């Protein structure tokens, strides 16, 4: 083969190789910009997952959705359309809980102890604005912004959260109950298991990455079904941290939120002590024995 031909062949190979590298880099950058996070029925818009057919305006999903994710339904409030998590409870048989994580990332509740948790029920999803409205209508709870009924209700104090739970016949979960749901007897590091902290499982890193940027509030409750616990509890990690009732009349916020960026904030045992009501803290209710 003549030398000019060899040069042409080499050049073509370099061009082909360079093109392949370019495509790989481009794909990697695209994946970094748009990590998979929204389940079927919801559409990624900015830092949010909105129902199909909705639009994003000022960080809110607006309009009547044509489709919602599994385990969601459409709001029955005519003036406030949106996707809302189905109201259901999970039955926990109770059992022995070994508390005291061995993870080097330092849990917030690491004092080793063994507790026996009585049977109880727990809301599958965080209490939504849609549910809160029933308490408002009864004159028991104060009014909140209703523009997105499917978002978790936030900016409520532990006392207000407790009042709502009493209204529906329950109470705020104790710390031990919440941990039993999040860790299970197996002491799971994450509610779904031991590994796989990714954007499609947890509503986290939505303000400054890694899952999105610019979020001003939480995601729809139940918008990360891939991160459900084996029993079916949603959002025990991320979205909003959750108030729990502790011994001595104290309250803490557990589970991390949409603002969290590191794994340590989202582990089952993570605790935020001294937390104050804000846009990143909500709650769910427990029912039955063990209070």
Buried b (16+ CB within 10 A) or exposed e, 79-112: ebbbbbbeeebbebebeebebebeeeeebbbeee
Q: Which residue has 């309250």 as its token pair? A: 251
**Which residues have C-beta within 8 Å of that of residue 129, sequence separation ≥ 6?**
144, 145, 146, 148, 149, 150, 151, 152, 153
- Please report the pLDDT score of residue 15 as a whole number: 42
- Is pLDDT of 105 > 50? no
Q: With contact defined as beta carbons under 8 Å apart, do 291 and 174 qualify?
A: yes
Adjacent-strand bridge partners of 56: 61
- CATH number for the region 84-287 comes to 3.90.1580.10
39-98: pLDDT as tens digits: 999 999 999 999 999 999 999 999 999 999 999 999 988 789 999 999 999 999 999 887
By residue count, the chain amounts to: 291
Per DSSP, the chain holds a count of helices (H) and strands (E) of 4, 15
Q: With contact defined as beta carbons under 8 Å apart, do 42 and 50 qualify?
A: yes
User: What count of other Cβ atoms lies within 10 Å of the Cβ of residue 178?
Assistant: 25
pTM of the model: 0.85
User: Would you place residue 115 in the very low, low, confident or very high pLDDT band (cuts 50, 70, 90)?
Assistant: confident
- Please report the pLDDT score of residue 134 as a whole number: 95
Phi, psi of 242 (to 5 degrees): -125, 135
251-273: pLDDT as tens digits: 999 999 999 999 999 999 899 88
Please report, for the chain, the start and end positions of each structural domain, with discontinuous segments joined by +: 1-33, 84-287
Q: Which residue has 């385990």 as its token pair? A: 71
Q: Which residue has 């995601």 as its token pair? A: 219
């Amino acid at each position: 083969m003549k030398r000019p031909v060899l040069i042409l062949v080499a050049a073509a190979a370099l061009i082909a190789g360079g093109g392949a590298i370019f495509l790989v880099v481009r794909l990697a950058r695209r994946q970094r910009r748009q990590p998979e996070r929204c389940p079927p029925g919801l559409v990624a818009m900015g830092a949010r997952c909105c129902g199909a057919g909705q639009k994003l305006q000022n960080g809110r999903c607006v309009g009547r959705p044509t489709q919602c994710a599994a385990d969601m339904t459409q709001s029955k409030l005519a003036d406030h359309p949106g996707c809302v998590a189905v109201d259901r409870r999970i039955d926990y048989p109770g059992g022995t809980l070994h508390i005291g994580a061995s993870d080097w990332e330092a849990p917030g509740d690491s004092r080793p102890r063994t507790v026996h948790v009585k049977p109880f029920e727990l809301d599958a999803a965080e209490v939504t604005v849609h549910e809160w409205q029933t308490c408002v209508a009864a004159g028991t709870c104060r009014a909140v912004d209703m523009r997105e009924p499917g978002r978790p209700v936030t900016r409520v104090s532990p006392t207000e959260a407790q009042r709502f739970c009493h209204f529906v016949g329950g109470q705020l979960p104790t710390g031990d109950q919440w941990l039993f749901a999040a860790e299970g007897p197996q002491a799971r590091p994450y509610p779904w298991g031991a590994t796989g902290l990714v954007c499609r499982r947890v509503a986290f890193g939505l303000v400054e990455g890694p899952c999105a940027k610019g979020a001003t509030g939480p995601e729809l409750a139940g918008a990360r079904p891939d991160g459900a616990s084996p029993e079916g509890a949603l959002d025990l990690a991320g979205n909003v941290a959750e108030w729990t009732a502790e011994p001595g009349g104290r309250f803490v916020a557990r589970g991390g939120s949409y603002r969290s960026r590191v794994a340590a904030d989202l582990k089952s045992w993570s605790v935020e002590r001294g937390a104050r009501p804000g846009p990143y803290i909500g709650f769910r209710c427990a029912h039955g024995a063990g209070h």
